[in-house]
Amino acid sequence: MTHWDVHHLPRADGKTFLVTGGNAGIGYFVAEQLAGSGATVLLGSRNATKAETAMASIRSRVPDARLGHLRLDLSDLSSLESSVDSLEIERLDAVVCNAGVLLEDQPRRETAEGLELTFATNHLGHFVLAHQLMPLLEAAEAGRVVTTGSFVGKSAELDLDDLQSERDYQPKRTYARSKLAQMLFAFELDRRLRAAGSTVLSVVDHPGGALDSLTPARPVHPAPGGRKFPAGLLLQGKEAGAWPAVRAVLDPAVRGGEMFGPRVFGLRGEPRREPVRGKLADTALAARLWAASVGLTGIGVTR
């Protein structure tokens, strides 16, 4: 395989990518970098004003960027079908399932549909979105579902009897569980796509340790403050945290069921393929989570 250079990406002219949560954080930098490849990049965001600010920021760095906004509220599962129906495209080459919430120091909250907010937004919203997008992904030559997991998700323990965190809600633990669920879903999705003979691939990425204080300034991200040392020796900013997702979208050598993360201890550096092991390779756990997700949402994903 040729060396992957994060600063010299392959061209993707004529392709269309959707980045959920593309208006801020790591999702913004994924969108900015993908825009530099010549693709059309759609920013999935609930807030049109924030999406416009993000698109203006991207255009200031990529003057010929082809951008659009898709109103997307992953916490409102019933709205996702109409959001996808509003897309005026014939195919979608990749969706980056990046958006997520971490409700630190807040009590447990539920969506209008009665689902715990973090799990519903991070996992179930993307579960439903992938189902709604599948016809557009299958219309592409080789569509990709790229799911952004988390380093903390690798060490989480998923309680299939309490996916809604009703018994003992702890915000950070609930977040970690939702990210583990996303990664398990992505690997199970690829197994099901392969079994169905689909051309769509499902790939996982994670950003390692991506800190605001190490992130370059953008209009959607204020200039970082505070000391960067010694965190900069082990961690990185969100611009670099976007690299694994961008590689998962653009690298022609990527295969379904693979995972990409930062090179150095999985925390920082250029993106590389990582082994899939432990809980992430537990096919029985993933199948049980899939069945539970179908039960909570009422839909499957592959058609």
| Residues recognised as catalytic | 175
Provide the b/e sequence for 204-232 (b: ≥16 CB within 10 Å).
bbbbbbbbeebbeebebbeeeeeeeeebe
Find out whether 267 and 155 touch, Cβ atoms under 8 Å: no
In angstroms, rounded to a whole number, what is the distance separating the alpha carbons of residues 207 and 89?
29
In angstroms, rounded to a whole number, what is the distance separating the alpha carbons of residues 104 and 267?
22
3-state SS assignment for residue 116: strand
Q: Which residues are 95's β-sheet partners? A: 18, 145
Number of Cβ within a 10 Å radius of residue 164: 17
Find out whether 77 and 110 touch, Cβ atoms under 8 Å: no
